[in-house]
Structure 1
Amino acid sequence: MQSNGARGPVRLILAVAVVVSLAASLAACSDDSSPSDAASKAASAASRAASAATRAGDSLASATAEAGRRFDEFKSGADAKDEVKLDGSPSADSDGRATVKVTASNPTSSARSYVVQVDFRDTSGNLLDTTVVTVDDVAADGSKDATARSNRALTGDVDTTVARAVRH
């Protein structure tokens, strides 16, 4: 069974294949250049698009692996997903990266730290990126804010969710 996280890159690669096929068909019908020139241009465009799709897929895989590694460090932590909220909709920073405010609320009687995985998804639910943010030294019965930032620039409408959170 394929996870939602894999569907985004797969759809992107399929879209690239459709665009390449369409470009090759249109190029073959062109009157102002030879078929070999048009085919060469289509192949070049296809190569650039495939390279971009591969980079996007590699970036997502790397971010997902890093999130897993960070959570593996806190095996003795308590599940704290219900103690973490995302405040507001994500917005783009000056680099085009999506950011969202993360608030951890500590219900215990001593200071705790939180490790929070935030997923960035498109409106169809496809995983675009994931990041891990640490919220250190949240006071007993208090709360503290941090900012989750995507690993790369994201375009279009982006939704965010707390995928996991651990208190330690």
Structure 2
Amino acid sequence: MAGPWTRGAAGVVLAVTAVAAAGCSGNSSNPSGTVSKAASAAASAASSLASQGADALASATAEAKRKLDEATGGLNVKGDVTLGSIGTDSDGRATVEVTTKNTASSTKSFAVQVNFTDQSGNLLDVVVVTITDVAAGATGKGTARSNRNLTGEVRAAVGAALRY
């Protein structure tokens, strides 16, 4: 299944190719060569765009893993975490409120990985929210904020949750 950056890149190639073809209709010297060059340029630009998107996602995923690894001795408590409705902040970033319930008998902290996806389930971004010093039996709140602007219908899901 193609990811959102791949589909977007393919759309850029098709759009630029169509524009190049339309713009060349009056050029009888070598219209197919012009379209070919435009398609090559569009493919190169789309490949660069897809690469940048993949690099950003890989970087966010690596950072999320690093943050979760810092929660040494953490207990998996994914079931003790709920997410609110997705919104957009003033910078255009996707946000979602994260609520943790501390079922332990002492104060604990939480590291929660939030996966932002599109409506098809393709991963768009990954962030980790740290909620510290939640008293025994209490709830703690934090906000997950995407690393970059996300477009389309964005969804959020708990990828992992550690209590430590």
TM bin, normalised by shorter chain, reads: 0.7 to 0.9
Residue 38 of structure 1 deviates from its aligned partner by: 4.4
Residue 98 of structure 1 deviates from its aligned partner by: 0.5
Determine whether 1:78 maps to 2:72.
no
Mapped to 1, the partners of 2:127 and 2:135 lie a distance apart of: 24
Residue 83 of structure 1 deviates from its aligned partner by: 1.0
TM-score by length of 1: 0.82
Q: What is aligned with 1:133?
A: 129
Q: Single out whichever of 134-143 and 48-57 deviates more from structure 2.
A: 48-57
Quick one: structure 1 residues 54 and 144, their matched pair in 2 at CA, closer, same or farther if it must change by over 3 Å? Answer: same
Residue 107 of structure 1 deviates from its aligned partner by: 1.3
Residue 111 of structure 1 deviates from its aligned partner by: 1.0
TM-score by length of 2: 0.84
> Is the 1:115–1:165 contact (alpha carbons within 8 Å) kept by the matching residues of 2?
yes
For 1:60, give the aligned amino acid.
Answer: L
> Is the 2:12–2:46 contact (alpha carbons within 8 Å) kept by the matching residues of 1?
no
Aligned residues with identical type, % of pairs = 47
Mapped to 2, the partners of 1:72 and 1:146 lie a distance apart of: 19
Mapped to 2, the partners of 1:47 and 1:56 lie a distance apart of: 14
Match of 2:119 among 123, 133, 146: 123
SS of the aligned residue for 1:148 comes to strand
Match of 2:25 among 20, 31, 38: 31
Mapped to 2, the partners of 1:16 and 1:137 lie a distance apart of: 44
Quick one: structure 1 residues 37 and 116, their matched pair in 2 at CA, closer, same or farther if it must change by over 3 Å? Answer: same
Residue 26 of structure 1 deviates from its aligned partner by: 6.4
Residue 80 of structure 1 deviates from its aligned partner by: 1.1
Q: Single out whichever of 47-56 and 57-66 deviates more from structure 2.
A: 47-56
> Is the 1:79–1:165 contact (alpha carbons within 8 Å) kept by the matching residues of 2?
yes
The number of residues matched between the two structures is 160
Match of 1:112 among 100, 108, 112: 108
For 1:20, give the aligned amino acid.
Answer: V
For 2:106, give the aligned amino acid.
Answer: S
Structure 1 unmatched ranges of 5 or more = none
Determine whether 1:65 maps to 2:62.
yes
Residue 141 of structure 1 deviates from its aligned partner by: 0.8
Q: Single out whichever of 105-114 and 36-45 deviates more from structure 2.
A: 36-45
